[in-house]
Structure 1
Amino acid sequence: MERCHARYVTGAWTQARDGITVLDVGGADVNGGYRPIFQGPGVRYLTADLSAGDGVDVVLDDPYRLPFDDGSLDIVVSGQMLEHCEFFWLSFAEMMRVLKPDGFLFLIAPSAGPIHRYPVDCYRFYPDAYRALARHSGCHMIESWLDERGPWRDLVGVFSHAQVAVPEGPTRTRQPIAPIDVAAGSAEQEAVSGRIHYRDTLTALHERLAPRRYLEIGVRRGGSLALARCEAIGIDPQPELDSPLPANATLHELASDDYFAADALSASAPRPDFAFIDGMHLFEFVLRDFMNVERRAHPGALIVIDDIFPSHPLQASRERRTRVWTGDVWKLHACLAEFRKDLLLIPLDTAPTGLLLVAGLDPGNRVLWDRYNPIVRRFTAPADPPPEVLGRDEAWAPDDPRVGSIADALRETRASGASRTDILRRLRAIASRPE
């Protein structure tokens, strides 16, 4: 829904109105709602549902009759309702009836997932279903897209009475940027550790991997992106470059979600051999970044993730409270160790906040995609990092010879076109050697 808002509820369309009335059909606050997305001056947000409940403004006597005049609403939204509606085509037509001639209907319904009666669960939807609804009601489906995260794999559709051009270019959705103007904590709260600086480790990995294409999420001042000697792509919505980037580097000033949603790195483009993730310091963001990068990476590529080792529980807070801040990125290691046992995971004792090397990638693996929602609910629950994380108990030394050997093996198997099975067999043999 944020993407719908960012693409359509902006610019001239909004400025031409004295105010905006939004109706959320089936909008009872059961697992959260869309109201916060549409907050703003002049916005009137109403929810309609079959029974009274949290956030319900209008209780419907008839599920197929909305108590509003024809063409009276600027925006109608409905999310995760249509599958529970026995005669969904009637509900769709009614939502279009109350919509203004130049208004928008934003519709979200699952294309997959288990039975979840509320009180019934009747349907799953594909793009052709949305096209059929538009034809049946005599309106236009402007665009649709499938959110591949599971288990629901939601289908999103944008509808209007008028034919509207699909917005061009990537969408800038709202992505929180953590403030850095927090007061310094105590020496213990601001402590860091590590034998070798992470940038020195990245430099060594570049030399051993000799990647053909490098991808970096979270460029900030540009120091790590400038290490690349190959084609390099940087992604950062708010970079603060200290100096111009080298000619081989391209910077996209976008949130990573927006970059990947725009398919900026298409299936036909050369796949990255090396990627560094240092974006938002929240579990769900780094999880999505990993999922998106793995999907587009070469099976013999290496993904490196920053900030996996907070040195104090306060540094691991989901809200920034210290100058040294890792957020809850540390949870990604535990998540991958549980759900992706097929990967090779190597934590490194780098300064200031550790690195995680991930190899043996499987671009076609759907485990994280299919289980995304329950994984996020579980791992974003408040939790302090355990002592073994704070103490870096399982971390390798960055200059451990095995790290270089793994990089060499990835370069060699990439050149030979080895299968993922052969790549993993060779990597695990190296990792199992004595230090």
Structure 2
Amino acid sequence: MSTKRTALTGPIALLSLGHACVDVYQGAVAALVPFFVSERSYTYAAASGIVLAVSLLSSVVQPLFGALTDKWAMPWLLPVSTLVGGTGVALAGVSGSYALTLAVVSVSGIGIAAYHPESARMARTASRGSHTAMGWFSLGGNLGFATAPLLVAAVIATGGLRASPLLVVPALAGAALCAAALRAVAALPAVPAATRASGAVGAVGAVGGDGGDGWDGRDDWASFMKLTGAIVCRSIVFVGLSAFISLFVRQRTGGGEVSGTAALFVLYLGGAVGTVTGGKLATRHGRLPVVRWSYALTVPAVAGVVLVPGPLLYGCVALTSAGLYVPFSLHVTLAQDYLPRRVGTASGVTLGLAVSIGGVAGPLIGAVADATSLRTALAPLIALPALGWFLLRTLNEPEMPDAGPRRPAVATRPPVTRPPAAHDARRKSLQRDDQG
């Protein structure tokens, strides 16, 4: 029992911690927005353009890396992409040039894009198909998001935006964790063929082999596209709130930078709880019911963020975070099971394109906020989770190999072997019985 537990939790723990170090940089870009506005006098639209740069690059590039990992395993991407993602953000505050800032955060976006498809494939292998284990892997990313505003605020407080090179530290730690995770996954025992056929885990053992980690079933593109549409709705809400919640809460509560940073921290931290809860709820109630309930909960929660005044707003932010994050890891496993022949592509789209494409809406939200107010610009976000729920309501659980007709079982009991002496004694006993 202890050996099995160590085999399954050790690699997942390392992958989760590495995931946290990478996703610090996804959260850091949004956390830097208020400082760009205050120190460089950027407009809302200009500041959100920086979020767009990292999101758009990640959106376009991540599915490409996913397609590559469907053909070839590229575990070396994990430490390398972690370093690239961290270096880009670390350089974001060095120069006052808007163009250079866009360039370095774009490089960070490429690093983040390269990391996620391969890491999701590795986590699927290490998790043995467990929703709870994948939830722990996703939890790492959420903790990275949650840590980002606190880390950015602490670093920028020491020397303004020019202190941003200190933000490279999580990338260095993450690269070391990723290297350790690769060794741990490579040491896992090979998965028996019967287990792979059941759909519980991918067809490739650990680090080696091709990138296709799903059971050899049919790709359900129609269901995958509906799921992707729902994730896009979720992404626009999440990225829109990430970019502007700090500034919005300052206005609504009359607080300073601390109040805005606290709101962003709550938005990200609630996801840490929601992701693990989502895996456990899915084990008990099924993935799709949990995902639908989450989208339904998010509608009134976002309405509360936009409309509720004063400190109660923080409670609405926490509910919004839970609604957005409970289905997060379930999105990934559903997508992988809808496209069992293209697990890397499914991971790249759900973790990359569908999630990051929300950044495309950022400049539009910023432009509306510049022309009217942040409250007016954020109000349309209330309707998007409802649209996501509408897309999800017709989906069915992905077909698994044990869902169809079963073949008659074939006895595979190994022959019983006896030592020669015992065999001779048995033969003589039978002869005596026959003679008697």
Same fold (TM over 0.5): no
Structure 2-normalised TM-score? Answer: 0.25
Tell me: higher relative CO, structure 1 or 2? Use CA pairs within 8 A at least 6 residues apart.
2
TM-score, normalized by length of structure 1? 0.25
Higher percent of residues as strand: 1
